[in-house]
Structure 1
Amino acid sequence: MSDAESQIDADFGTTEQDDFEPVQVFDDGTGMDLRPGADNCYKCTSCDTSCPVAEVDDDFPGPKFQGPEQWRLKRKEDTDIDGSVMKCSNCMRCDDACPSGVPLSQMHNTARGEYVENHMDKLSAEYIRNRILSNYRTSAEIASKVPRLANIAMNFGPARWVMEKTLGVTAEREFPEFARQTFREWWEERGGPQVRSEEKRVAYFHGCYSNYNTPEVGKAMVRVFEEFGYEVVVPQQRCSGTPMFANGMLDDAKRAAGINVENFSGLIPEGYDIIASCTSCSLSLKQEYPELFDIDGIQDLSSHTYEAIEYLRIHEDVEGAVADASVPDQAFAYHAPCHARNQGLNRQSVELFRELDGVTIEDVGDSCSGISGTYGWKEEKYETSMKIGEEMFDHMHHAEGNVGMTECPTCSMQMEHGTGYDIKHPLQLLEEALV
């Protein structure tokens, strides 16, 4: 194993800001001052009208209340965090919609963290369920030791019924299958990097799902980048923290972030950029880490992190390579994840593959898929999740293709669940065309 792939596993703390005395609205110890962001809100309600949860749930007060209005109440009065913050799906579309730069998702994440820490019963079924879902990597690592048994057990009807009744994990969804060989097992078996380069170097953040459930996506990423002459390394890593942020488990997220920052940021001076195949992972490293944590190296990690196809479009003539390639005839219904839209990547796959001979690809619109990571796995939120996804399902059914495409693993679950279509990652089609 190379130095780039060595593991560091420790808890990392945060550092207080000392250039001014911060206003401690949310008692989470981070020392952040959100005054400028909250004061920028002039109540235009663009965030509320963009919120997919507010659109289908009349009881949800919306991101404007959950962000700047709740912040102001908390600052001026002895007011507890409203429990409705747990209805926020963390799609982060409100960030994109705000015309004045209010850090809405940062406020939501911070508020959820305080609510869970101070108001949620740690022995409640809801807390235990949310903690398990947030730490998917832990359960996936165990299941991957006996994948065949795990796949049978997790989708055994009575077992799903018990999980719904005891923990509130919906029985309506089938659990994704665990791969018989994880991505990291494949990586070690092949002997690590097959290309060496002093000029073109990337470190792959594969995340949990590509490791345990869809290693074919990780393999495609490696093979495509090696085709373009890149040295690919795969450092030891933890979950990106996305499901932890969404469930208010900020201590868990901080631990994971500390390990990831330590293992990846040290590669940047050696010429490595960080590449993710999941848009939620790339957004977490780019945006949520520096918003919520003060860890040495975190800003470098943020500024050197890219989604995989985004990186190729910046640094290589991947459009030209695709235009010269061909694949057997196939048609795709493409959905851009919300966390791709937050990064300005919502049409990149449509733009990339529209010149690929043999491929028809259709964007199925700008609606949210509705699953939002762990959100749609909760029994009490399942119906809301499906209502949000109705527009996407309808557009997919009317698209020419009967195969879906997306960069987000949980969006792919929702797409398959709502339509029955097989789902591909864009990297898999890129591999088919170029490798």
Structure 2
Amino acid sequence: MREGSLEAPVRRPLAWRDPDFTDPAKLDAEMRRVFDICHGCRRCFNLCDSFPRLFDLIDASRTGELDSVDSKDFKPVVDACTLCDMCFLTKCPYVPPHEFDLDFPHLMLRYRAMEAKTKGVPFADRELAKTDRNGKLGTLAAPLANWLTDRGNARGRALLESRAGLHREAELPRYASRSLAARARKEAPAVNREAPAFGKRKAVLYATCFGNYNDPGPGLATRAVLARNGVETEVLHPRCCGMPTLEQGLIEEVAAAAREVAAALLPWIEKGYDVVALVPSCALMLKFEWPLILPEEQAVKRLAEATFDVAEYVVDIARKEGLAPGLRPIEGGMTLHMACHARAQNMGQKAAEMLRLIPGAEVQVIERCSGHGGAWGFKKANFETALKVGRPVARQAREAGKAYVTSECPLAGVHIMQGIERLGGGEKAGPELVRHPIQLLARAYGLDGTAQGGTAP
């Protein structure tokens, strides 16, 4: 039997409609099979908190083996998984096509699907996952919403901690007063007809919930950069990609989101538009997770084939047509955190490649989990663990001595800055957070003033 697979990893379609998928006994048998393999390998011990919890559970058991661990004690292992996919893509030697056929993140998803079916999802978690509804309300009352969620509002944050389980010290996303889609309808940047890509490309920006309601800045920067490079753009947000509900095991709801978004974007794809997703988690959903959930749906397949991550798209233009001139150096250097869900797209370090298109760019890359994991890192039960997991990233970012810290993940960058804050910055001024690398490229083009999102840093 092979120690590890020499072939590229492949993922199986999710059999979520099969009754066996959520059958407690069959799920428990599969978890024991996989956990026993993980126990014998332990290469993932430093990726996230799931694996230390699993290994501590086994090591503290009566026999020191999985056979003496009660299945009811598996839940903390599942709860610590953020579905980052790093174990599957970067560490595990036993993923398909290896005969062990191990997919740890999708096994954790299966457990959550079983829990959602048999016990339901806690009310607060269910409401937090309604990102479109929350976003629409948040933009309508942005000053009030931002006042309530501000870390300096002790009473408001105590209320959110007790009612919604959100840690009072976690930096929560702010809301923009106008959505990206609303701004795009009134603000269309002039397309550069002299750019090499003019007439060859046009793109729909899938706004995403965060890009639409919380921080339009990266979306505006993307439009400005693409316009400078001759690319006509439209901005659409049919609905959330479903990542928050995927994390809760509500796969049927994710499938409904996939069908709706694919139906809305397919006419644009048929007119020759590329699709650019503004957040890595959402790009991952469109490109990889949706086709595994609905492998028989042609619209979903076509959308996956037409979708690009932001940095991936800019680098593709640079390679094939060449970028428009006008990029100027950015002083002080940049520390770039590679988001886990960008790495999970298996496309290489596209954000780093993009930033290195800036003349004389000094880019230090950090390829390690920030510890945040979406809504997981905001919660009272997880916030301190999230900071602990992300401490090596915060330390590297602080010690790099660069002028800017940026991450493709809009939540990771803020979390890293909180980690730096916890470490203490001494007398030296800390780095400036730029929420997405595309905003640094816009700055290098002199487009920074046209690409502001209107939210506080």
TM over 0.5: same fold? yes
Is the deviation greater in 312-321 or in 141-150?
A: 312-321
Partner of residue 141, structure 1: 136
CA-to-partner distance for each residue in 1:70-102, whole Å, 9 max, x for gaps?
A: 9xx9xxxxx899533232111111220333324
In structure 1, the residue corresponding to 2:308 is in which secondary structure?
strand
Report the residue type matching 2:363 in the other structure: I
The Cα of 1:191 is off from its aligned counterpart by 5.6
- Contact (CA 8 Å) 2:358, 2:441: kept in 1 or not? no
Distance 1:247 1:266, change over 3 A: same
User: Aligned to 2:240, what secondary structure does the other structure show?
Assistant: coil
Equivalent of 2:433, from 417, 423, 430? Answer: 423
Counterpart of 1:300 in structure 2: which amino acid? R
Specify the code of the residue in structure 2 equivalent to 1:433.
A
**Per-residue deviation at 1:105?**
2.8
- Say whether 1:98 aligns with 2:95: no
Q: For residue 132 of structure 1, what is the aligned residue in structure 2?
A: 127
Q: Which residue in the other structure is 1:76 paired with?
A: none
Q: What do the CA deviations read for 1:288-343 (whole angstroms, capped 9, x no partner)?
A: 11112354411111122110221222243489648973134132211101111112
Give the equivalent residue in structure 1 for 2:172.
Answer: 175
CA shift for structure 1 position 186: 0.9
SS in 2 for 1:223: helix
Q: Describe the superposition over 1:336-361 as per-residue Cα deviations: whole angstroms up to 9, x where unpaired.
A: 01111112345333333335336422
- Tell me the distance in 1 between the aligned counterparts of 2:117 and 2:55: 24
- Other structure's SS at 1:380 match: coil
- The residue that corresponds to 1:119 in the other structure is 119
The number of residue pairs the alignment matches comes to: 388
* Alpha-carbon distance change, 329 to 48 in structure 1, aligned in 2, over 3 angstroms: closer
- Unaligned segments of structure 1, at least 5 residues: 1-15, 29-34, 63-69, 74-78
Instruction: Please state how far the C-alpha of 1:281 moved relative to its aligned partner.
Output: 0.9
Closer/same/farther in 2, CA of residues 339 and 60 from structure 1, 3 Å limit: farther
Does 2:282 correspond to 1:281? yes
Residue 106 (structure 1) shift: 3.0
Amino acid at match of 2:364: E
Q: Deviations over 1:159-181 (max 9, x none)?
A: 21122123311111132221222
79-88 or 175-184, which moves further after superposition? 79-88
Superposed displacement of residue 27, structure 1: 3.5
Shift in alpha-carbon separation, 1:266–1:320, aligned structure 2, 3 A: closer
Structure 2: stretches of 5+ with no match in the other structure:
1-13, 24-29, 59-65, 97-101, 422-430, 448-457
- Residue of structure 2 equivalent to 1:151: 146
Taking structure 1 as reference, are residues 192 and 403 closer, same or farther at Cα in structure 2, changes over 3 Å only? Answer: closer
Partner of 2:75: 83
Q: State yes or no: 1:190 paired with 2:187.
A: yes
1:340-359 matches, within 5 Å, as 340-345=342-347, 347-354=349-356, 356-357=358-359, 359=361
1:134-175 alpha-carbon deviations (Å, 9 max, x no partner): 222221210100211211122221121122123311111132
User: Contact 2:228/2:324 (CA < 8 Å) preserved in 1?
Assistant: no
Q: Distance in 2 between matches of 1:81 and 1:119?
A: 17
